[in-house]
Every structure is written in structure tokens, then in C-alpha cells.
């Protein structure tokens, strides 16, 4: 393979990895932007999304087949269910903690994450589940570079979801309320915005985007495991910080940047794929030292 081929192939790999990161990072950044909570359970919602998608696909598979129609149905239902799960988690675990010290709510989020991942582990006996689809392996062959149709469809659907989100946040009244709450909650209350409902909506959207990414990852990698949410949760957080936490376009950009950096990082001499995670966590630490506001974030002035 020539250098150009390697670059193209890694570009394709990086883009797909980056779209997963971006989708998960969006939920992180939206929740953080609105109530300043690091939702540790977010990666596990991605995992739960993958498993629910699998469940739905095996139920509707007989009716719709396990091609794109079935997958679409599975994805939408999984997004709905995980979105509701996100709202339930917020109601049970986070709402009572909003006035408590920061440490308490972080530990609560960690507990929720443990319950989700270990709950799924108990249900699946810790086994890998094969996510079978009949999408086939056709694709576009560019000499030495091969891009499957599956990859193409996944990247495009991720992009579509992000465009819809962007339009929702910037063109609708609900989106406007979300942006307003991120700036000043009390003023929003005075203006007659139902703050609690908008926060719940934010959790719903963030969680369902993570679920979409989970189903897509299931389709792409062909298997599911209860621990798959842990590393991607960390990576998506890294992506959110790269883009500037709290910023929605930042999360999209950060996800793509991290995906590409990882894909190309594994090609560097002495940096094999086993060092991939060290590479991106190291990047996170360096970034927090030198540019904690990220690429698109605003400098935050802490009010007393």
C-alpha cells in the first residue's frame, strides 16, 4: 500500500470512529452545558442503547428483516427507550442532588454508571453478544482503499442526526430555552420557562444520541459487550473537552478530531494499536493543562 492509500484508509476509519465519538460527546456536552454535571453514566447509556437495539432487532427481525429497515426501526426504538431511561435517571438520581455538594452528585453519577454496566453484565452473563445483520460486505473499491456501504451509511446517518440536533437547538423555541438555561437558570424561571422540563428534554436528547451511536457501533463492529461504554465514555469526554465542553459544534468537531487523531496515531512508528488509549488520554491531560477551554469553548469566568 502506498502512503496515500494508508492516509485515505485511515481517513475513512477515523471518520467513522469520530462520528461515534461525536454522537456520544454531544450528550456529555449538552448535559454539562445546562447543569454543569459530568454524567459518568453517559457511556453506559451508549452501551444500553446498543443492547436495546439488539433486542429490538431480534424482535422485529422476522417482520422487517435484519437489513437497513430493521436496523432503522431498532435504532429509533432504542433511541426512544434510552432517552426515557436518561430522563428517569435524571429524575431519580440527579434532581435530588442538584443542591448538594459537587462531590455528591459526581459519586451519584458514578453509582448510576456502575448499576447500568453491572446490571447489563448480570443479564448477559458477561458474554459478548453477536450483533448479526445481513448488510453484506459490498462497498466502494478505490484500488487499495476499501470503504463499505455500511461505513458510508453510518457516517451519513451520524451527520444527519447532528444536523437535526443543530437545527433543533438553533431554530426551535425549545432549543432557544436550552441555550438560555445554560446561561442563567434563575432568569429563565422568571421568564416563565419550565426549567425542569427543558433539563429533562436535554437528558432525553443526549441519551438518545448515545443510544443511536450504540446501535451504530453494534452494526459496525458486529458485537456487543457490557463494558463497551466505559472507554467510549472517556473518549467522548475527551472529545467534548477538545471541542470545548458545553459547546455543541465543539463536541462534533472534537469527536471527529479525536477519531482522526486516533486513526493516524496508530500509524506512527512505535505507537501500536495497544497504545491507542494511552495516546488519547494523554492528549486529554495535555489539553486540560494547556487549553482547558478547548477549540471552540469560551473562557469561563466563575461567578461567586
Partner 1 sequence: MAAPRIPVFRLSRMQRTLLLAALAAIGLLIPLAANNYVLEVLTNAWFYAILCLGLNIVVGYAGLLDLGYAAFFAVGAYTTGILSSQYGINFWLTIPVAVACSMLAGLIIGGPTLRLRSDYLAIVTLGFGEIVRIIARNLDITGGASGLIGIDRPSILGLELSKGIHFYYVFLLLAMLACFVSFRLQHSRLGRAWHYVREDEDAAEAMGIDRVAVKLQAYVIGAMFGGVAGCFFAAKMTAISPETFTFAQSVLILLGVVMGGMGKIPGVIVGAFALVLFPEVFRSMGSMRMLIFGIVMLGIMLYRPEGIWPQRSGTGER
Question: With contacts defined by CB under 8 A, how many residues of the chain interact with partner 1?
Answer: 42
Contact call for residue 119 and partner 1 (CB under 8 A)? yes
Residues numbered 167 to 196 that lie near partner 1 (CB under 8 A) are none
Smallest separation (angstroms) from partner 1 to the CB of 300: 8
Taking the least distance from each CB to partner 1, the nearer of 148 and 280 is 280
Site string for partner 1, 203-242 (x = CB under 8 A): ---------------------------xx--x--xx----
Contact call for residue 67 and partner 1 (CB under 8 A)? no
Contact call for residue 304 and partner 1 (CB under 8 A)? yes
CA pair distance 86, 52, nearest whole angstrom: 14
Looking only at the bridges linking them, the beta strands covering 223-224 and 145-148 are: unpaired
Taking Cα atoms as reference points, which of 216, 206, 261, 267 lies closest to residue 239? 261
Q: Residue 61 to residues 41, 52, 72, 83: CA-CA distances in angstroms? A: 29, 13, 11, 22
Biggest alpha carbon distance in the chain? Answer: 63
Contact call for residue 298 and partner 1 (CB under 8 A)? no
Q: How many CB atoms neighbour CB 102 within 10 A?
A: 11
CA pair distance 29, 241, nearest whole angstrom: 9
CA pair distance 85, 199, nearest whole angstrom: 14
Taking the least distance from each CB to partner 1, the nearer of 1 and 114 is 114
Contact call for residue 64 and partner 1 (CB under 8 A)? no
Residues that bind partner 1 (CB under 8 A): 36, 38, 93, 96-97, 100-104, 106-108, 110-115, 118-119, 121-122, 125-126, 230-231, 234, 237-238, 274-275, 277-278, 281-282, 284-285, 288-289, 292, 304
Amino acid at each position: 500500500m502506498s502512503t496515500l492509500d494508508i492516509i485515505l484508509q485511515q481517513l475513512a476509519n477515523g471518520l467513522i470512529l469520530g462520528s461515534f465519538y461525536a454522537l456520544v460527546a454531544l450528550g456529555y456536552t449538552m448535559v454539562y452545558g445546562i447543569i454543569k454535571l459530568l454524567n459518568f453514566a453517559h457511556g453506559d447509556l451508549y452501551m444500553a442503547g446498543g443492547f436495546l437495539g439488539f433486542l429490538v432487532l431480534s424482535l422485529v427481525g422476522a417482520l422487517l428483516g435484519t437489513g437497513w429497515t430493521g436496523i432503522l426501526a431498532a435504532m429509533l426504538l432504542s433511541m426512544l427507550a434510552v432517552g426515557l431511561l436518561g430522563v428517569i435517571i435524571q429524575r431519580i438520581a440527579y434532581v435530588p442532588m442538584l443542591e448538594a455538594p459537587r462531590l455528591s452528585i459526581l459519586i451519584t453519577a458514578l453509582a448510576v454508571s456502575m448499576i447500568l454496566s453491572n446490571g447489563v453484565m448480570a443479564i448477559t452473563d458477561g458474554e459478548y453478544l453477536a450483533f448479526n445483520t445481513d448488510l453484506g460486505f459490498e462497498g466502494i473499491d478505490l484500488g487499495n482503499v476499501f470503504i463499505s456501504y455500511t461505513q458510508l451509511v453510518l457516517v451519513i446517518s451520524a451527520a444527519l442526526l447532528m444536523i437535526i440536533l443543530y437545527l433543533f437547538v438553533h431554530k426551535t423555541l425549545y432549543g432557544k430555552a436550552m441555550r438560555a438555561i445554560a446561561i442563567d437558570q434563575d432568569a429563565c424561571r422568571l421568564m416563565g420557562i419550565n426549567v425542569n422540563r427543558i433539563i429533562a428534554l436535554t437528558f432525553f436528547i443526549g441519551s438518545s444520541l448515545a443510544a443511536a451511536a450504540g446501535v451504530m457501533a453494534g452494526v459496525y463492529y458486529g458485537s456487543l459487550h457490557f463494558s463497551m461504554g466505559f472507554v467510549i465514555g472517556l473518549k467522548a469526554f475527551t472529545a467534548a473537552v477538545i471541542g470545548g465542553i458545553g459547546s455543541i459544534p465543539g463536541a462534533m468537531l472534537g469527536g471527529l478530531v479525536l477519531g482522526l487523531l486516533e486513526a493516524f496515531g496508530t500509524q506512527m512508528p512505535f505507537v501500536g494499536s495497544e497504545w491507542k488509549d494511552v495516546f488519547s488520554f494523554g492528549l486529554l491531560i495535555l489539553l486540560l493543562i494547556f487549553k482547558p477551554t478547548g477549540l471552540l469553548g469560551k473562557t469561563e469566568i466563575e461567578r461567586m
